[in-house]
Amino acid sequence: MSASLIASFAASALGAAAPIALAALGGLYTAAAGSLSVAIEGSILVGAFAAASIGSASGSLELGLLGGALGGALLAATVAGAANKLRADVFVAGLAANMLAGGAVSALSQSFFGTKGVLPSDALGRGAAHSGSGGFSFLGQGSAFLVLAAAAAILAIMYATSVFGLRLKASGQGSEAARAAGIEPDRYRFVAHLVAGAAAGLAGAYMACTVAAFVPGMSAGRGWIALAAIYLGGRKPAGITLSCLLFGSLFALSNLLQGLRGQVAENAELLQAMPYLASALAFILWKRRGRKAARRKGAMGESS
């Protein structure tokens, strides 16, 4: 395998893993707070649309990225409000938000831009990969990748070392215990949802940058893969990052083999399902491990 092919594969894997990792690290906050949101998928889609819309209107890459984060956070706020204020089931609220995202994006795109299809944005294209000496380049990644990497690093550090991270985890241990320690769990859960939504929205904005446009359905299950990465990575930032690199490598392998000729290329479409099959397997293994832990706990309770 040539050095250029290895570099191309590494860049593709890194580019595919980055938005999943950021979304997963954001979702980790809701998991730690005991209010796991499944609306990451919808926030990615809304973030991509908001970034393309604002980037196209303003001509600014920075405003486009910021708009993507705010768009994702806005959708997450609806889930947090339903779960915390209305006491709705957070899983059901997240599913509803995912369905709302697709319909809302389609309606807004038709109303403001006269199309339900691709929405191009040259401003976002400036944040994509480039080889010029005037911009950031790491394995061919552009400046939007740098923003994404910085955001992911901040989330990981805050979760592991900050007072906010410690209180967030305490909120997930139980409402009564948290309140006894002077912590208001609903407040931290609400903030956790906002963090998850903003992270997923920024991930969607990055995806829009890579194609300089919003494409309907471009989230394509990345939010669900991010959820799988949370548990496959043991709910730890380092483990989540490694899990996302695995998923990114599977995406890159699929893209690589699609460019080959012969029998491999004919069956390459099967490889497109590999990241999704891996995420389903991660959920199954996590559920199985949870059941084993529950049985061991029950056995210990009976023996005592």
Residue 180 predicted with pLDDT over 80: no
Q: Is residue 158 domain-resident?
A: yes
Q: Is residue 245 domain-resident?
A: yes
Amino acid making up residue 130? H
Residue 52 predicted with pLDDT over 80: yes
What pLDDT does 134 receive? 45
Q: Which residue has the higher pLDDT, 84 or 268?
A: 84
Q: How many beta carbons lie within 10 A of that of residue 153, not counting itself? A: 14
Please give the Cα distance from 149 to 206 (Å, whole number). 11
Q: Average of pLDDT values for 100-129?
A: 87
What pLDDT does 256 receive? 75
189 close to 30: Cβ distance less than 8 angstroms: yes
Residue 22 backbone dihedrals phi, psi, to 5 degrees: -65, -45
Q: Average of pLDDT values for 98-114?
A: 90
Sign of CA dihedral 91, 97, 99, 102: negative
Q: Is residue 32 domain-resident?
A: yes
Q: Average of pLDDT values for 200-208?
A: 96
Q: How many beta carbons lie within 10 A of that of residue 229, not counting itself? A: 29
Sign of CA dihedral 268, 270, 272, 277: negative
**Total domain count, the chain:** 1
Q: Is residue 271 domain-resident?
A: yes
Residue 49 predicted with pLDDT over 90: yes
Q: Is residue 66 domain-resident?
A: yes
Which domain range does residue 50 map to? 3-289
Query: Phi-psi region for residue 234, left (φ > 0), alpha (ψ -120 to 50) or beta?
Result: left
Mean confidence (pLDDT) of the chain:
84
CA angle (59, 62, 63) in 5-degree steps:
65
Residue 269 predicted with pLDDT over 80: no
46 close to 212: Cβ distance less than 8 angstroms: no
User: What confidence tier does 164 reach under pLDDT thresholds 50, 70, 90?
Assistant: very high
Q: Is residue 106 domain-resident?
A: yes
User: What confidence tier does 232 reach under pLDDT thresholds 50, 70, 90?
Assistant: confident
Q: Is residue 296 domain-resident?
A: no
Residue 173 sits in a domain of what CATH number? 1.10.3470
User: What's 220's DSSP letter?
Assistant: T
Q: Is residue 100 domain-resident?
A: yes
Please give the Cα distance from 148 to 124 (Å, whole number). 14
pTM of the model: 0.86
What pLDDT does 236 receive? 93
Residue 76 predicted with pLDDT over 90: yes
83 close to 72: Cβ distance less than 8 angstroms: no
